[in-house]
Amino acid sequence: MDTESREKRVVFADSVQIDKAVMAIANQINEEYKEKSPLLIGILKGSFVFLADLARKLDMAVEIDFIGLSSYHEQKKSTGKISLYCEPSAIIRGRDVILVEDLVDTGLSTSFAVDYVKNEGANSVKLCALLDKKSCRVVDVAVDYFGFDLPDRFVVGYGMDYNEKYRHLKDIIILGDE
């Protein structure tokens, strides 16, 4: 981590805890999608590490795609504006889609993604999020598979960033201002 940064950090979940949580989610999906071949759609960019770990714990034939969404933040808070900068390349019509998110905060990004895949004609849509920050919801979003409840704190690592830094960290770190 950047040693010159003045932000204070506390580990929220280390790599062992994360691995256990991802395994628990994979077990549920393995059970529920036994006879299916779901299309996993990772919401970029934050989900890329979680999606890579989750996919390698799944037993069925999955397909993988991505949707690029950006929610604009000011002072670590969402402004509520979402932009779609990269559409999935897969044909979604008739597919059983599992949206894969690192974090559901206001719910605006995931709600946008759910509407997108429904409009594209998905047969079913479920939402999988490693972290669920329920106290910050602005729109009602049901998370079907999740790893950790997250209090109202700003986290980085395991794919998540602050100003594009820290995505490569193995642990999930709470970032606070000193």
Query: Which positions are annotated as active-site residues?
Result: 105
78 binds ligand PRP (CB under 6 A): yes
109 binds ligand PRP (CB under 6 A): yes
Contact map string, positions 56 to 75, toward ligand PRP, x by CB under 6 A: --------------xx----
Helix axes 15-32 and 48-55, enclosed angle (nearest 10):
60
Taken as a whole, the chain contains a residue count of 178
Cα–Cα distance measured from residue 55 to residue 23, given in angstroms and rounded to the nearest whole number:
10
Q: Which is nearer to ligand PRP, 27 or 78 (CB)?
A: 78
Angle at 105 between CA 44 and CA 84, to 5 degrees: 35
Cα–Cα distance measured from residue 28 to residue 34, given in angstroms and rounded to the nearest whole number:
10
104 binds ligand PRP (CB under 6 A): yes
Stretch that binds ligand PRP, among 9-17, 59-67, 86-94, 107-115 (CB under 6 A): 107-115
Stretch that binds ligand PRP, among 5-13, 32-40, 51-59, 100-108 (CB under 6 A): 100-108
155 binds ligand PRP (CB under 6 A): no
DSSP 134: G
Q: Contact, 123 vs 141, CB < 8 A?
A: no
Q: Contact, 41 vs 65, CB < 8 A?
A: yes
Which residue is nearest to ligand PRP, using beta carbons? 46
Q: Residues interacting with ligand PRP, by CB under 6 A?
A: 43-46, 70-71, 78, 101-110, 161
